[in-house]
Amino acid sequence: MQGDAGIARGTRRVVMTYLIAHGMAESAVMSGHLNRAGLVQLIRSDHAALVAIQAQASNPSGTALTHADGAVRALIDNATRLDTKTPPAGQRKAALDGAAATA
């Protein structure tokens, strides 16, 4: 099904998921915990996801959408795996809450 802008729902969904995944990758880079190899791997997976989304947007198909979904999932996996020293959001909030309580 297409919206008013003529962009298929699946394409919009994968683009929105990519934007979130890209933000996760940005967070991994900003954490300062990536080594050079991890940074290169993250850049490559981000690029692969973007290229797959571009292919889906240019020529929408079930196969292209599946490929784009897989590429975005790989980006998410890499961003979360490579950013191992940044605690999950719930743990960060608990740590901040604990620090505020003792201050």
Residue 1 maps to a domain: no
The alpha helices in the chain, defined as continuous H runs, are 9-30, 36-58, 62-82, 89-102
In the predicted model, is pLDDT for residue 1 greater than 50? no
Residue 39 maps to a domain: yes
* Mean pLDDT computed over 55-66: 93
In the predicted model, is pLDDT for residue 73 greater than 90? yes
Specify the 3-state DSSP secondary structure of 87: coil
The residue range of the domain holding 79 is 9-102
Residue 2 maps to a domain: no
Query: Which of the four pLDDT bands, split at 50, 70 and 90, describes residue 3?
Result: very low
The DSSP 8-state label assigned to residue 61 in this structure reads -
Q: pLDDT digit string (tens) for 22-45?
A: 999 999 999 888 889 999 999 999
By the 8 A CB rule, do 75 and 21 touch? yes
Total domain count, the chain? 1
Residue 55 maps to a domain: yes
Residue 76 maps to a domain: yes
